[in-house]
């Protein structure tokens, strides 16, 4: 992982830990692999009981760098912001409630977590179903 990714991840997890509405954070995709030195973007999966509040807080309260562009995408119960910061770094913040975790993973999300998944912070072992999915599909 690139040094600027580590810096953002550290600052984001520190900030998110102070937000009572965020219950868990994971890295998803190739960026979750510590050995990966590719120029892959950071992709966070956040679990929150206040999805809209969390998304707005990321845009307006997370003090990292000025935002050049933010694109919102809806994926059913998961909403994401793809943010490009002033330095050119792109980060995706996907936010969902706990009910999203109880749904079976669709093919696209299943493929994404198989490329990498790392729990960064978790108050209640929320990501157990995703971890089990990875364990049962890793040798297919």
DSSP string computed for 64-95: SS-EEEEEEEEETTEEEEEEEETTS-EEEEEE
The two tokens of residue 72 are 């919102």
CA distance 114 to 127: 14
Map tokens 């830990």 to a residue. Answer: 17
Q: How many C-alpha atoms does 1 have within 13 Å on its Cβ side?
A: 21
Supply the DSSP symbol for 127: T
pLDDT per residue, tens digit, the chain (140 aa), is 678 888 898 999 999 989 999 999 999 988 887 665 566 788 999 999 999 999 999 999 998 999 999 999 998 899 999 999 999 999 999 999 999 988 888 788 888 888 889 999 888 889 988 888 888 887 76
């Amino acid at each position: 992982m690139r040094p600027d990714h580590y810096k953002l991840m550290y600052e984001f997890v520190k900030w998110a830990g102070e937000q009572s509405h965020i219950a868990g954070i994971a890295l998803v995709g190739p960026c979750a692999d510590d050995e990966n030195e590719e120029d892959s973007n950071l992709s966070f999966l956040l679990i929150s009981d206040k999805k809209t509040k969390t998304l707005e807080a990321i845009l307006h309260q997370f003090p990292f760098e000025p935002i050049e562009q933010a694109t919102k995408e809806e994926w059913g119960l998961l909403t994401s912001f793809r943010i490009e910061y002033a330095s050119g770094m792109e980060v995706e913040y996907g936010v969902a409630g706990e009910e999203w975790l109880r749904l079976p993973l669709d093919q696209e999300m299943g493929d994404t977590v198989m490329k990498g998944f790392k729990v960064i912070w978790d108050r209640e072992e929320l990501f157990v179903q995703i971890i089990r999915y990875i364990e049962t599909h890793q040798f297919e």
